[in-house]
Amino acid sequence: MNTSDAPGHYALFPTELGICGIAWRDGHVISTNLPEPSEAEIRDRLVRRSGGAEPGTPPQWVRQAIDAITALLAGNPNDLAFIPCDYGQADDFRVKIYQLTRTIPPGETTTYGDIAERLGNKRFAQAVGQAMGHNPLPIIVPCHRVMGANGKLTGFSANGGIETKLRMLDIERAAIGAEAGLFGHLPLAIKPK
């Protein structure tokens, strides 16, 4: 699904989570990045994932994507489905996984198994998990909204791991697990253990 061999451009931008990054080419976002320990690490990852993107000034459509991402990470339940994406070297199966993941609304979660079922076979759950671990477009492809069986938190490949995943879900006020319990309306950071 790669639209071009041109390297494209990237930009960094501030969010509630910290500095994030976005790379684009030929009218499509080709990579996004959550905060890393340093801006240099964000730039390096964007350049590597994009095949050599260079710094650039975001065109209007990328600016709109950045604004929507920034608002989402500030707690506004923005739908990022309008952002055109190029999934790079992902095969058709992974592209389907990413497209299904993009349909999960802010504030909601699903499981690897549920996505696998939507793909036609519950046994694809492990493949769904592997695709999430290689997601080139975190935030736009909201892999943080995908859980293990029964809402179990599993690994998260972004810097900060599960803590970052929980923070993102907390910003979105997402319920984790089947139903919210007695303290389900409270932010994750202050729920009783």
SS (H, E, C) 149-182: HHHCCCCCCCCCHHHHHHHHHHHCCCCCCCCCCC
- The Cα 2–Cα 138 span in angstroms is 18
- How far is residue 80 CA from its own chain's centroid? 10
DSSP tag of 103 = T
On whether the CB atoms of residues 11 and 58 are closer than 8 A, the answer is: yes
Task: Give SS3 for 7.
Answer: coil
- State the catalytic residue, choosing from 97, 143, 166, 171: 143
Distances (CA, A) of 61 to 2, 21, 33, 53, 85: 19, 15, 18, 17, 12
DSSP tag of 72 = H
Look at strands 110-111 and 54-55 and give their pairing. unpaired
Is 143 annotated in the active site? Answer: yes
Residues annotated as catalytic are 143
